[in-house]
A = this chain, B = another copy of it.
Amino acid sequence: MDNQAKLEFKSLPANVAFARVTVAAFASQLDFTLNDIEEIKVAVSEAVANAIIHGYDNQPDGIVTIVMTISNGTLELVVGDRGKGIANVKKALEPSSSTDPERMGLGFVFMQSFMDSLHVESAPGKGTTVTMSKSVGSSGKKEQLEH
């Protein structure tokens, strides 16, 4: 069954947990394992935390959007903000490339590790859009390939 939903919320730290629960509830319409759902929750936390901390510099009046789509056993998530944007996306995607000394620079690494695909589009001053997808059964396949 194909499905689609969109969530919009203020850039408040408390909404990271809210976004996580919402996406997990939507994802549970597919036959993901509990482990898959935990991974999706981490990826959502990272993308939403980035929108709030980096995109909106912790200002609470920004709007973060998440478009969730289920199609053919795949969950696609598009997390968007209209914040400050990223000048060099390629560099931002590298591990430990945080622009904030108090942070680890692992957000994109986690999104990449826990989802099947990650795509980032950004324009300075305009905002950032993070597109991630994960298919049912893909974790098993991934692990098999690695062995």
Contacts and interface: CB of A to CB of B under 8 A. Distances in A.
A23 to B, nearest CB: 10
A80 to B, nearest CB: 14
Q: Would you call the interface of chain A mostly helix, strand, loop, or mixed?
A: mixed
B7 A3 contact: no
A126 interface: no
B8 A6 contact: yes
Nearest to A12: B3
Contacts of A87: none
Interface string A13-54: 011011001100110010000000000000000000000000
Interface in A87-137: none
Nearest to A23: B22
A15 B4 CA distance: 9
A10 B3 contact: yes
Interface of A: 1, 3-10, 12, 14-15, 17-18, 21-22, 25-26, 29
